[in-house]
A and B are shown apart, each in its own frame.
Chain A
């Protein structure tokens, strides 16, 4: 009954729109469908990202040939062109590798059945209460024949998947606690045990979706139109305005605000970029001159590690996850924050003893062929991606800045590079940026638009997305390193 009235409302409303105003922008095709009494969902929000104004993002249809091919690939693989793709296309080189990897993980040969893969994706995304990814994968999960009962909570899934819950929790929040005992528990659980290959597949999936959740929040990805929260059936025009007028209107208002806010601090933020570049130049030049002692270097790492725990935004209010999402994982209270509050010690992991290139890659490729190669490529592209620009400056060598960001994230996970001076991080990354990084990597669900706007104010959106790519890849590598080290230790 209610449905019927809603449909009627939509019907009359649209009639009103098309007949009274005859808006040309909307196109004519819509009228027909609505006459059939079909309810037309309407997207909420504007564009694929809540943080980035729609007009900054590439419009479908205006892409170049390479991007078009990417879109086509993405569409063919997923059956949709999701908002993540639309935002990532800022960096087509990375997007290509990302899509290839994701496609392989979810759909190509692998030890895990398809519905398991999507369910693991749901588990991982749910750890960060990422409703966007959960919704997408709930659909996919059902589509490949998954049992809808499992979606009522992890306790309804097979024991085998339940066993994975603990690893999921640790990986997402405290990967350094993973030991070979955890691995052993998974591999030796009689009829519910995992094989090594399955476990590696699962670990790769978990880390992939943990970091993808970071990206989703970090770039403020809007819900897809067909998912919860992505659309509304409410009549679009209450005041007899055409929908496009309203959105356009809203847009301009929003942009004005942004601009005005930007204008206030324009000199300020311009100065920021200059200062950053100056620091980079200084570091480059005087690197050789003052040589810090070994103890100094070691303590710099410890300081950075410790400080990283306390870098948090002031608004610490508890976000209680929506029931809908939280049912996919147990122990909702378990998070990164706990340990930082209690000042727990993160042991140091030396990358020179166990690194991705030498050790992690070989292990993954051995147990889950080809994936090591794909992930390796993805890391490589993310780490080396540069356009040699910084805000308005061109021909800048940004490798130092990128390395600082990468190493800062690894530092938060206790991963230390012997050959890096952690003093550089303090010089290059200011506090608001650190807050953003820390939040995205550890508690992505708490990212706000304010945080996104407040760091690197003069930088372009594409550069902020670039930062996000660095963040998620560094995070994925950190998690993988811990998990793979535990597996290696189990094997030896």
Chain B
């Protein structure tokens, strides 16, 4: 076992790599650390991502070096930007913002606003209102705005009525409107200037088309259809493959031409220089991802278009159906590649400013994904899960892995994520009171200023250093007890390092084991949050919890008179050598079961007094008498006293009743999806575990439990208290009982024994003791023996319940149930849930109650609806007597495998011993 232990410890060490991720403030994460034995799921490792990202680094390092040289126009000027977090009120909600390349002006556009603001040291100053004219035209109702990154005078807007407008700030007149393109039929969602070309503008519209405009011409130069591949071929190929526009760079001989050519080379992987007039090679080879899912003729709305910053001819477009397409601007007939990026609309995309291959996309499915486009198939390298649909995404300048997002609905904050840490945002800006509609980094090389516009009619400048950092608030320490008293503890490395110098004090029996993670400089959060995990182990033997398991299994909690329960439990405790507990049970019996009071003992559990007294009380819950009392008329006669071991007969009474109405409910109720039992107030549904034969015989048949009335409503109560079990998990339980100090209160109660005997004659009511009993329960709970507390609580029922506040009870129940489940004592835990009177607890077994049914013929899972198998078109499990589907208890003969409704078979067997199916078999049911 030692070896086994150490390997699992290594696993833990690994888990400790990313403490924040691991110790996200959820209970599940805490359980994971220790719950390996309980089978609570595993923790995913996260090493692979980093490997991948470093690969990318290698791939593109050369590229970056090259591009840096050409980055002349946009380099940060000598004076660094200054400013504060500030905001200004706009007159109307903004839809989009864009920054001038000098980083000193910002344009805000919306349905009824179109203004330019100067960003000054302390405030925004309105510089220009572009919304002029007496009658506001729909052309001014902007869905998007973009400022040319090379020409300070050039702006473009996308109007909601489908018009693309360009604005020239250099015009002398008040109206700066330059050109009007009315080619789109529907709202234009996005406009985008070519990053290095002065006259090229791209637009994407709701009508499913993207158009490329040359600003020196009156109409578009090419149109790209988002339709399925080939669908647009016939209609839109009228454009000449090489357009004059592309002669332009040649004439200008600007750096962009060179850049375009080199990028071309890189993509093709060929050194052969090619003329721009030449059509690019057919990209059939790359089109492996294109699938024919879309039916032709249904053009999907374009939500975003973005020119690649590095590849001269490439742009990406995103669609309402979740697709992303990559286009070569010279080839309007078909896209270079297409892949499905999101489930639902892809609202936005953004090329990484440095990495050629990286494209970030954000969608309605609340995800931000980062794609590596350099490979044959677009590869998802990172995925960030946000809490609301992602409306905009923008890479943060100079920070390779950072991007900013904002949402379209519900969530008003702006988040900056480190894509390698997808669960906690690196920074969060909470200034806006309504959804943020536009974000822009102020300068392409300054990572600290973010501008944003919002539906709440404000324009904000956020400073990165003023952002709130959720990571700071996250608790980087984690602590968890193992089942056998081991303790695991993870904390910031700096903290642990300081502590580790200290010597463990002499009295400590447990050995601390330290695991220290080796620091890897390539790790993304090396400096930020490295942590160490320490595990303290119990000495072998001292942590044995067998007493707990035994006690849990053998205690009787209900179904018999109180006196018997107490006696039984006392006996169990004594046999396990827990004399104090045994004594307590005896006292309880004396207090509550004096002869004169016996009749009242059955108040709580109104149980038929069966013959249970004669049964040996050794094994598990003996609840048989009661079930018999309820169901004896209806149960198969032969079943009496026969084997039922391991057969959990849930709802024995309820089932029989439903069987009778089975015919009425068939067909109209909800099949295959119902609850197992109604937990509330049904103390009389029991597990039937027959002690006589529990381990002597194999079960002869198993009755599947099904058939409950129509599913009832899941009580809409919040889940039980979450982090309460810690206290109860204390491993000290066994040892502490020997403590002298802790026995002090018990001493006094010992004396009570004699006292109470005397008092009984004078008929002292049990209420007299209730305060003491409650103290006793609390004592046990605090000692860590929550088992005792809960058991007594259940056994005494109403007698003490009212004296202990609901919260405490819930806490105890939750702790005990948690412990039971960790020891895999599912039956006991479910019984405790059932017997509990607390609402929060009893709703526990109303959760995840779906039952999956397989077809009895072909073994395939049945569809969610109906009882007819999709595959073999037969009804599953027919009753041999009535030929209806059996939705309840199905009983069958193991000889001929015919069977049916329990009741029908019972009836049938009264009259005949042959199989009702007519197979001639002499059926035997027991």
Does A associate with B in a complex?
yes
Chain A residues within CB distance 8 Å of chain B: 72-73, 75-80, 103, 107-109, 111, 113-114, 143-145, 287-288, 291, 294-295, 297-298, 350, 352-353, 357-359, 361-363, 366, 373, 376, 384, 397, 417-419, 488, 491-492
Task: Determine which of B161, B185, B409, B867 lies in contact with A418 in the assembled complex, contact meaning CB atoms within 8 Å.
Answer: B161
List of B residues within 8 angstroms of A397 by Cβ: 297
Cα–Cα, bound, A298→B161 (Å): 11
Q: Knowing A144-B710, A298-B138, A419-B187 are in contact, say whether A111-B865 is a contact too (CB < 8 A).
A: no
Task: Determine which of B141, B409, B456, B668 lies in contact with A362 in the assembled complex, contact meaning CB atoms within 8 Å.
Answer: B409
Known: A77-B865, A294-B139, A418-B187. 7 other contacts (CB 8 A): A143-B668, A352-B160, A358-B347, A358-B364, A358-B408, A361-B364, A418-B159
Distance between B763 CB and nearest chain A CB, rounded to angstroms: 44
A76 near B866 (CB under 8 angstroms)? yes
List of B residues within 8 angstroms of A79 by Cβ: 667-669
Distance between A136 CB and nearest chain B CB, rounded to angstroms: 12
14 A–B pairs (Cβ distance < 8 Å), ordered by A: A72-B868, A73-B865, A79-B668, A114-B710, A294-B137, A358-B364, A359-B408, A362-B389, A363-B410, A366-B388, A418-B141, A418-B187, A488-B410, A492-B434
B670 near A111 (CB under 8 angstroms)? no
Q: Is B345 an interface residue (CB 8 A)?
A: yes
Q: Knowing A352-B141, A419-B187, A492-B412 are in contact, say whether A295-B135 is a contact too (CB < 8 A).
A: yes
Cα–Cα, bound, A113→B711 (Å): 10
Cα–Cα, bound, A418→B141 (Å): 9
List of A residues within 8 angstroms of B651 by Cβ: none
A78 near B364 (CB under 8 angstroms)? no
Chain B residues within CB distance 8 Å of chain A: 111, 135, 137-139, 141, 143, 159-162, 182-187, 206, 297-298, 320, 344-345, 347, 364, 388-389, 391, 408-410, 412, 433-435, 456, 667-671, 673, 710-711, 713-714, 716, 865-868
List of B residues within 8 angstroms of A363 by Cβ: 409-410
Q: Knowing A79-B667, A291-B182, A350-B111 are in contact, say whether A362-B710 is a contact too (CB < 8 A).
A: no
B135 near A366 (CB under 8 angstroms)? no
List of B residues within 8 angstroms of A298 by Cβ: 138
A491 near B410 (CB under 8 angstroms)? yes
List of A residues within 8 angstroms of B135 by Cβ: 294-295
Cα–Cα, bound, A357→B345 (Å): 8
The 9 closest A-B pairs by CB, nearest first: A79-B668, A76-B866, A418-B160, A362-B409, A113-B713, A294-B137, A76-B865, A352-B160, A418-B161
B320 near A384 (CB under 8 angstroms)? no
List of B residues within 8 angstroms of A488 by Cβ: 409-410
List of A residues within 8 angstroms of B143 by Cβ: 352
A111 near B409 (CB under 8 angstroms)? no
A362 near B434 (CB under 8 angstroms)? no
A103 near B865 (CB under 8 angstroms)? yes
Closest chain A residue to B206 by CB distance? A419
List of B residues within 8 angstroms of A111 by Cβ: 716
A107, A297, A352: most-surrounded residue (chain B CB, <10 A): A352
Task: Determine which of A294, A353, A419 lies in contact with B162 in the assembled complex, contact meaning CB atoms within 8 Å.
Answer: A419
B433 near A492 (CB under 8 angstroms)? yes
Cα–Cα, bound, A492→B320 (Å): 26
Distance between B236 CB and nearest chain A CB, rounded to angstroms: 15
B160, B184, B668: most-surrounded residue (chain A CB, <10 A): B668
A352 near B412 (CB under 8 angstroms)? no
List of A residues within 8 angstroms of B667 by Cβ: 75-76, 79
B298 near A419 (CB under 8 angstroms)? no
Total cross-chain contacts (CB, 8 A): 106
B713 near A114 (CB under 8 angstroms)? yes
B139 near A362 (CB under 8 angstroms)? no
Cα–Cα, bound, A491→B435 (Å): 11
Cα–Cα, bound, A76→B185 (Å): 45
List of A residues within 8 angstroms of B347 by Cβ: 358
Task: Determine which of A78, A295, A357, A384 lies in contact with B298 in the assembled complex, contact meaning CB atoms within 8 Å.
Answer: A384
Closest chain A residue to B434 by CB distance? A492
Cα–Cα, bound, A79→B669 (Å): 8
Q: Knowing A103-B865, A145-B710 are in contact, say whether A358-B389 is a contact too (CB < 8 A).
A: yes
Distance between A70 CB and nearest chain B CB, rounded to angstroms: 12
A288, A298, A419: most-surrounded residue (chain B CB, <10 A): A419
List of B residues within 8 angstroms of A113 by Cβ: 713
List of A residues within 8 angstroms of B138 by Cβ: 294, 297-298, 418
Closest chain A residue to B343 by CB distance? A373
List of A residues within 8 angstroms of B408 by Cβ: 358-359, 362
A107 near B668 (CB under 8 angstroms)? no
Cα–Cα, bound, A361→B187 (Å): 19
A78, A297, A361: most-surrounded residue (chain B CB, <10 A): A361
List of A residues within 8 angstroms of B668 by Cβ: 78-80, 143
Cα–Cα, bound, A384→B300 (Å): 11
A76, A488, A491: most-surrounded residue (chain B CB, <10 A): A76
Distance between B490 CB and nearest chain A CB, rounded to angstroms: 33
Cα–Cα, bound, A211→B141 (Å): 32
B866 near A72 (CB under 8 angstroms)? yes
List of A residues within 8 angstroms of B456 by Cβ: 492
B671 near A76 (CB under 8 angstroms)? yes
Cα–Cα, bound, A350→B142 (Å): 13
B185 near A419 (CB under 8 angstroms)? yes
Cα–Cα, bound, A492→B161 (Å): 28
Cα–Cα, bound, A98→B184 (Å): 33
A419 near B186 (CB under 8 angstroms)? yes
Distance between B390 CB and nearest chain A CB, rounded to angstroms: 10
List of A residues within 8 angstroms of B162 by Cβ: 418-419
Cα–Cα, bound, A298→B545 (Å): 79
List of B residues within 8 angstroms of A491 by Cβ: 410
Cα–Cα, bound, A213→B435 (Å): 36
B161 near A297 (CB under 8 angstroms)? yes
Cα–Cα, bound, A291→B298 (Å): 26
List of B residues within 8 angstroms of A291 by Cβ: 182
A294, A359, A366, A397: most-surrounded residue (chain B CB, <10 A): A294
B866 near A353 (CB under 8 angstroms)? no
Cα–Cα, bound, A111→B716 (Å): 8
List of A residues within 8 angstroms of B868 by Cβ: 72, 76
Cα–Cα, bound, A298→B206 (Å): 20
Cα–Cα, bound, A350→B95 (Å): 14
Cα–Cα, bound, A75→B297 (Å): 35
Distance between A282 CB and nearest chain B CB, rounded to angstroms: 16
List of A residues within 8 angstroms of B297 by Cβ: 397
A73 near B866 (CB under 8 angstroms)? yes
Cα–Cα, bound, A114→B675 (Å): 14
Cα–Cα, bound, A73→B670 (Å): 12
Distance between A77 CB and nearest chain B CB, rounded to angstroms: 5
Cα–Cα, bound, A350→B364 (Å): 21
Cα–Cα, bound, A359→B345 (Å): 12
List of A residues within 8 angstroms of B159 by Cβ: 418
Task: Determine which of A77, A143, A288, A358 lies in contact with B409 in the assembled complex, contact meaning CB atoms within 8 Å.
Answer: A358
Distance between B179 CB and nearest chain A CB, rounded to angstroms: 15
A366 near B345 (CB under 8 angstroms)? no
List of B residues within 8 angstroms of A419 by Cβ: 160-162, 184-187, 206
List of B residues within 8 angstroms of A373 by Cβ: 344
A114, A145, A358, A488: most-surrounded residue (chain B CB, <10 A): A358
Cα–Cα, bound, A79→B162 (Å): 49
A107 near B160 (CB under 8 angstroms)? no
Cα–Cα, bound, A108→B865 (Å): 11
Distance between A203 CB and nearest chain B CB, rounded to angstroms: 16
B111 near A353 (CB under 8 angstroms)? yes
A362 near B111 (CB under 8 angstroms)? no
List of B residues within 8 angstroms of A107 by Cβ: 670
Distance between A372 CB and nearest chain B CB, rounded to angstroms: 9
Closest chain A residue to B137 by CB distance? A294
Cα–Cα, bound, A395→B865 (Å): 38
B298, B347, B409, B711: most-surrounded residue (chain A CB, <10 A): B409
List of A residues within 8 angstroms of B716 by Cβ: 111
Distance between A468 CB and nearest chain B CB, rounded to angstroms: 22
Cα–Cα, bound, A250→B206 (Å): 51
Distance between B207 CB and nearest chain A CB, rounded to angstroms: 8
